[in-house]
Amino acid sequence: MTTRVGFVGLGNIGRPMALRLAKSDGIDLWVYDVVREPVAELEEAGARGADSVAALAARSDVICVMVRDDDQVRDVLGEVLGVSGDAQTVVIHSTVAPDTPAQLADVAARHGVKVLDAPVSGGAMGAAEGTLAIMVGGSDEAFAAARPALDAMSSYVVHAGPIGAGTKFKLARNLMHFVAFTAATEAQRLAEASGLDIVELGKVVRHTDAITGGPGAIMHRATTAPIEEGDFWMGVMEHVVALGEKDLRFAIELADEQGVDVPLARLSLERLGKGLGLG
């Protein structure tokens, strides 16, 4: 069966996502962007360019939206609803505010249109390679309708729950992402003050995180509640905390010697054990 897909927003991540759709069997793809160049590229890849969001929506059953912000998402949805049909599903890939998906779903439902919030993780590289993770919130019916398009653009899709769950999933994931970036800046300052090559430090971090899984390596428990005595995870996390607190203390001592401010390291030393369930 062929799924008629429209894709709105051919930017840094949207363009390679749409290219994956254009190359996929069983997808009849229409695209739209305010900039002509990426539309022309998609047309060369086999998609058809639409003159407006409304024109695209009139030809699509599943409409993927990857635009800049909440206001642009609302604008796109408004144009879609002007020509909507009962079978349509709008898939919001943009990362929006936590309450926005439910608000949009309520509006769309009055027109017989279903909405999914489905932000992505993996960046432009993952989009180009088809290895994105897509986190989806919405009804089972809407998820089933969009699944062929989602599978064509990704290698991991999770139906996280009702509308809004995909966005909350993405925000939790990116909280860790950008806190880790901030911690990386502390590590760079400490290494630089110690006379080390921080480019090489970055290479070591990427090399070892690819082996160990980075922060995700400790994310296997199904709860954040304190670990009970006798639980398998007690011994595992005790080992992690013992190593972590030792190395954090040494790093903080080095930072003090070098006059480098490392507030995240100090906070981590304080909170690591409790955070891992060792109250």
Could you tell me the two tokens for 176? 């860790």
Q: Could you tell me if 220 and 150 are in contact, meaning their C-beta atoms sit under 8 angstroms apart?
A: no
For the chain, list the domains and their CATH numbers: 3-163 (3.40.50.720), 169-275 (1.10.1040.10)
* Amino acid making up residue 99: D
Instruction: Please say if the pLDDT value at position 64 is more than 80.
Output: yes
Task: Summarize pLDDT for 205-232 with one digit per residue, the tens.
Answer: 999 999 999 999 999 999 999 999 999 9
Neighbours of 142 (CB within 10 A): 24
Q: For residue 246, indicate whether it is catalytic.
A: no
Q: Could you tell me if 88 and 62 are in contact, meaning their C-beta atoms sit under 8 angstroms apart?
A: yes
Neighbours of 162 (CB within 10 A): 15
Average pLDDT over residues 163-186: 97
Task: Summarize pLDDT for 71-118 with one digit per residue, the tens.
Answer: 999 999 999 998 866 669 999 999 999 999 999 999 999 999 999 999
Q: What is the pLDDT of residue 30?
A: 98
Q: What is the C-alpha separation between 178 and 183, in angstroms, rounded?
A: 9
Look at the chain and count its residues: 279
Read off the pTM: 0.94
Q: What is the pLDDT of residue 86?
A: 64
Residue with tokens 């901030």: 182
Spot the catalytic one: 114, 168, 170, 274. 170
The full 3-state SS of 184-227, as one line of letters, equals HHHHHHHHHHCCCCHHHHHHHHHHHHHHHCHHHHHCCCCCCCCC
* Amino acid making up residue 213: G
Q: What is the C-alpha separation between 165 and 141, in angstroms, rounded?
A: 16
Q: What is the pLDDT of residue 83?
A: 85
